[in-house]
Structure 1
Amino acid sequence: MAAQEQHYVLPRPTFEKPVKILIVVAPYYKDIADSLVAGAKAEIEAAGGSWEVAEMPGALEVPTAIGMADRRSNFDGYVALGCVIRGETTHYETVCNDSSRALQLLGLQGLCIGNGILTVETRAQAEARADVSGQNKGGGAAAAALHLIALARKWSSESKGIGFKPLGQTIQMAGDIDGTDTV
């Protein structure tokens, strides 16, 4: 059982400037969602960050809300929370796969997202994973977002010296032998 296994947890990152995180939750199973959110809030606060919560009807809407928030707001990162319990139809696979894939695609675009959408077989599994004093998957998702934010901030201050130069700097254009052309 996963609850019995020991695993390594990275030390909590520290920040010079506080982080602002949006927690997007699908409270279909309200008690489980509330536990996930409690764990996420505690982890964000422990890192000195602030949070806001947005609720969506289901797990499929969570990535869309994160994408919208990223385009229209100023959050440093996001925590996706919810719970999908296997039922009698294939809808479970669709919701699990599509919500996870959408979050991954947003992450590959550079968004700092911790995925805490539980995908489980039974309610008991969900309760164990959401429990703040147990597996605390909400806190784990927030920790993942915090680590990604720390990495993004670290790398945003480094430059490879490539790309566009600010207007007014002299650059040599192809065919410009004497270097007199400027941009």
Structure 2
Amino acid sequence: MAGPSHHIMALPEFDKPVKILIVASPYYKDISDHQIAGAVAKLDQVGAAHEIIQVPGALEIPTAIGIAERMSNFDGYVALGCVIRGETTHYDTVCNDSSRAVQLLGLQGVCIGNGILTVENYEQAAVRADPAQMNKGGGAAAAALHLVALARKWGKAEKAVGFTREILLAGDMDNSDTA
């Protein structure tokens, strides 16, 4: 008997180009390759441009995204990696810290789809990464696209924030009288 189904939202539509950075850890290369394939296919569905970079492990993913956010011009990010439980508590540290760092970036307004798998064994990872099965890479790309759409919706400069150009010009005129 199958479990309850879940709703998958339709992908957003964009009137301006979208540029996404996929940050992947190839620690388990075949898992990573499947995640990337799923993410790229999802981005292609909306015509989003993308770039792929690789980092050594899950802990480096949020750091790379933070650097890219400060120094580049991406609209959003897809975090892809895989952490498989081992015999030590290192699993807990990597899972918790990478997830927390991605969440903190998101709370700062960075549009991130989190596709870092945290699983008990390789078989679980393979099913979740496979684009023909659970396609968690594609799901992370879709999440990033939805957040980019929200950021664009709410980020339009339709209302003045701070000083407007007219106020600054009027202020300059007032200052010229006293010079």
User: How high is the TM-score relative to the length of structure 1?
Assistant: 0.88
Distance of 1:108 and 1:169 partners within structure 2: 37
- The amino acid that maps onto 1:72 is M
Secondary structure, aligned partner of 1:168: helix
Post-superposition Cα deviations, 1:34-85, rounded to whole Å, max 9, x if no partner, equal: 0000000000010110111000000000000001111111111000000000
Post-superposition Cα deviations, 1:12-46, rounded to whole Å, max 9, x if no partner, equal: 10000121100000010000000000000000010
Output aligned runs, 1:109-148, within 5 Å: 109-148=108-147
Task: Name 1:84's counterpart in structure 2.
Answer: 83
Task: Name 2:45's counterpart in structure 1.
Answer: 46
CA drift at 1:123? 0.6
CA drift at 1:148? 0.3
Task: Name 1:97's counterpart in structure 2.
Answer: 96
RMSD of aligned Cα (Å): 2.1
- The amino acid that maps onto 1:123 is Y
The count of aligned residue pairs is: 174
Instruction: Choose between structure 1 and 2: higher helix proportion.
Output: 2
CA drift at 1:169? 4.4
Secondary structure, aligned partner of 1:79: strand
User: How high is the TM-score relative to the length of structure 2?
Assistant: 0.90
**Structure 2 residues without counterparts, runs of 5 or longer:** none
Distance of 1:36 and 1:5 partners within structure 2: 24
CA drift at 1:127? 0.6
